[in-house]
Amino acid sequence: MKLPRSYYNLLSFIGTAIAGISLFMMLYLFIIAIVFERSSSYLGLFIYIIIPVFLLIGLALIPLGMLFELRKRKKRGKDYLEKAWPIIDLNISKYRNAIIIFGIGSLFFLFLTGLGSYEAFHYTESVEFCGTLCHEVMEPEYVAYQNSSHSRVACVDCHVGSGADWFVRSKLSGVRQVYAVLRDDFSRPIETPILNLRPARETCEECHWPQKFYERQLRHSKHYLTDSLNTEWNISMQMKIGPTHSSLGLSEGIHWHINPNVKIEYIAKRDKRKKIPWVKYTNLETGEVTIYQDSIKPLKTDKIESSVPRNMDCMDCHNRPSHHYLTPQEFIDYAIASGDIPNDLPFIKKVSMDLFIDPYESIDTLNTEIERYVSSFYSNYESLDKELLIAQIDSAINGIKKAASTNIFPEMGVSWDEYPDHIGHKTYNGCFRCHSDNHVSKDGRTISKDCNLCHSVVKQGIKGNESVALVDESLEFVHPINIKGEWKDGLCVECHRYLYN
């Protein structure tokens, strides 16, 4: 088949070869992904992003080579053209063939471009792309996400949301992040909170809208003490997330904070939002405004005047909705309750807690220390059944490793230590950032620390010997370890943040 003589040059040949090989590789990998049902973040990356770039480069080289060839011929005095543009005569076979090939090729290319762009868009929006492509960086977030209550919600539904403007922002931010990963220039761990995150009302409230919150709910928890029997301590609380009946709306309860008729603003000491010394309450119906300040460590006037208060939304409490890293207390209790760690192995709760006092350099170091410490602790332990003890030790080691692997990522510096969870107040200040009895208004009102504002204990105690409250009544909280009422005066975090027993 004859083509214009300008096509016959090295650069156009190279472009044709690149385009042909790229097209073949795209089709080949696409067939593998479909027929063999094999999929991975890297396969999708090559099919929809990397190889198409080479295809475009190859196709661009073909006319570029032809243009250079025409200029060379013109300079040599051959095929002299009176006009700047080439003359195309369809009666000449070589021009006719070029037009046919170009026309059919363009239609085919446009079809592939449309299909590829569509697939590339969906691929870059997929959980697989977000969670596994940059494995080192995103492994902690991806693992935590898979174990969260939002594990069936796509990453982009929360991190991007709908609309072209935030889509463009996310892609521009993504380019910067890819560049940082390639340069190995990113923080370990990733810094939070993300200050430019899309407002919760545009993402969270697509599913969890304020007008549809429900009445109070029961929450049951199992805890294990560090004695030889790993004594099980159960507690059930009525969580006052809403009023006594859903028909009352957001008139009371925890979610009152986002009542549409209420506006709460605050100023944090730093971007981490761990300390909140200034709170402003506005009743949008009556216009009532009350400002509370930390009476112990108040903000200076110039700091208040120079700060822009943040409107409180879902993320100020639910700051780890899909990427929550449990404390050793929590993930070991969960592993014992689920049976991954044998509850009848003496002192296993204490042994497990001892392992997580100091940080580790790598997950391999952590796993090695788990094996060494657990085996060493029980090496001289007297038991009537040595075979059973060995089996229990092996089971405990595997259970501890499994629990730790989903909550501790030493290579990225990720653990419960780095990412506080503002829900509750046991291990982190959370609610106590404001509800501390220290935030006082000018007229003497305080933001109360009363536990019963948010929850009430309806059942607690050692398994089989729990105290139970009557309907619509509550029990006074009893600490599993007798600390003589000290829990009433201090903050839970003062012990639970550092001591895991």
Instruction: Give the pLDDT score at 44.
Output: 63
pLDDT tens profile 294-343: 988 888 888 888 888 998 888 888 888 888 889 899 999 999 999 999 99
Mention every residue, 6+ apart, whose C-beta is less than 8 A from residue 403. Answer: 331, 332, 334, 335, 340, 341
Closest CA to 266 of 255, 253, 275, 256: 275
pTM, two decimal places? 0.72
Distance from C-alpha of 327 to C-alpha of 491, rounded to nearest angstrom: 17
Those residues of the chain that have pLDDT short of 50 are 80-83, 500-501
Distance from C-alpha of 468 to C-alpha of 238, rounded to nearest angstrom: 12
Instruction: Give the pLDDT score at 246.
Output: 74
Instruction: Give the pLDDT score at 39.
Output: 56
Q: Is 210 helix (H, G, I), strand (E, B) or coil?
A: helix
Instruction: Give the pLDDT score at 500.
Output: 41
Instruction: Give the pLDDT score at 82.
Output: 47
Under 8 Å between Cβ of 441 and 166: no
Amino acid at 109: F
Distance from C-alpha of 338 to C-alpha of 496, rounded to nearest angstrom: 23
Alpha helices per DSSP H over 36-134: 41-45, 51-75, 93-124, 127-132
DSSP E strand boundaries for 195-254: 217-224, 232-239
Going edge to edge, which strands form the sheet with 217-224?
Answer: 217-224, 232-239, 455-462, 467-468
Closest CA to 421 of 219, 274, 258: 274
Distance from C-alpha of 93 to C-alpha of 1, rounded to nearest angstrom: 9
Alpha helices per DSSP H over 216-362: 301-306, 328-338, 348-354
pLDDT tens profile 117-154: 666 666 777 777 777 777 678 888 888 888 888 888 88
Instruction: Give the pLDDT score at 352.
Output: 93
- The partner residues of 238 in beta bridges, in order of sequence, read 218, 456
